[in-house]
A and B are shown apart, each in its own frame.
Chain A
Amino acid sequence: GDSVTQMEGPVTLSEEAFLTINCTYTATGYPSLFWYVQYPGEGLQLLLKATKADDKGSNKGFEATYRKETTSFHLEKGSVQVSDSAVYFCALKGGSYIPTFGRGTSLIVHP
């Protein structure tokens, strides 16, 4: 079945540091890929998505590229801010009727 593996956290960075959160997946066919973000005390919200190979999703300075050859969708940001502190979830929607989520990666950004 479909599965998503993302790096364990917490990831702790200083403000303006470069961020990478790794995400790899297993799925048949051509799934859609997502990054969701959960700020403290809130529900998940879609951060970015990509629906086909080599697509790059981007939003709020975050980027992720759909790499079918490596089955990856790593999240990156060039310069993180304290306000980016949150939990980030990688997810996919493949042939199954329901999406599959990773376990989430907590990001803590210090001033």
Chain B
Amino acid sequence: DADVTQTPRNRITKTGKRIMLECSQTKGHDRMYWYRQDPGLGLQLIYYSFDVKDINKGEISDGYSVSRQAQAKFSLSLESAIPNQTALYFCATSDSRQRSFEQYFGPGTRLTVT
């Protein structure tokens, strides 16, 4: 079973719709992240959370919001989707107890906004 899961894996939605992407992990990690990947731009950090009560904006948080419902769950919402939010979205986790802070990624959600 995958340690970091994302739902849905693919989603097509229309401009102006609200959409939620969900991430769950069974690794017991305290830190969770949402990234966006566009061709040629690498990974851009949207939001990150170091525990349930700690949520922080990343470099491209405008147009997005998040909720950390439990240590194992971190959701990303697009309040009113627009076409330039079409991208691949990844959730990741890390363990603050690990000195090297390596991250573990989910399989991604491919979002298309028409």
With a cutoff of 8 Å between Cβ atoms, the chain A residues found around residue B64 in the complex are none
Q: Which residue of A lies closest to B48 (CB)?
A: A98
Within the complex, which residue of A43, A97, A99 is in contact with B50, where a contact is CB–CB below 8 Å?
A97
Query: Given the complex, which residues of B lie within 8 Å of A36, measured CB to CB?
Result: 103, 105
B99 close to A (CB within 8 Å): yes
Given A42-B108, A43-B108: A32 touches B42 (CB 8 Å cut-off): no
Query: Which residues of chain B are within 8 angstroms of A101 by Cβ–Cβ distance?
Result: 42-43
Instruction: Give the shortest distance, in Å, between B98 (CB) and chain A (any CB).
Output: 10
Chain A 74-105 residues near chain B, CB threshold 8 A: 89, 93, 97-99, 101-104
**With the chains together, A99 CA to B45 CA distance in Å?**
10
Task: Say yes or no: is B100 at the interface (Cβ < 8 Å to chain A).
Answer: yes
**Once the chains are docked, how many angstroms separate the CA of A68 from the CA of B21?**
40
- Interface contact A32-B100, CB-CB below 8 Å: yes
Query: With an 8 A cutoff between CB atoms, is A17 at the interface?
Result: no
Contact surface of A with B, Cβ cutoff 8 Å? 32, 34, 36, 42-46, 49, 51, 89, 93, 97-99, 101-104
Interface, chain B (partner A; CB < 8 A)? 4, 33, 40-43, 45, 48, 50, 56, 58, 90, 92, 99-108
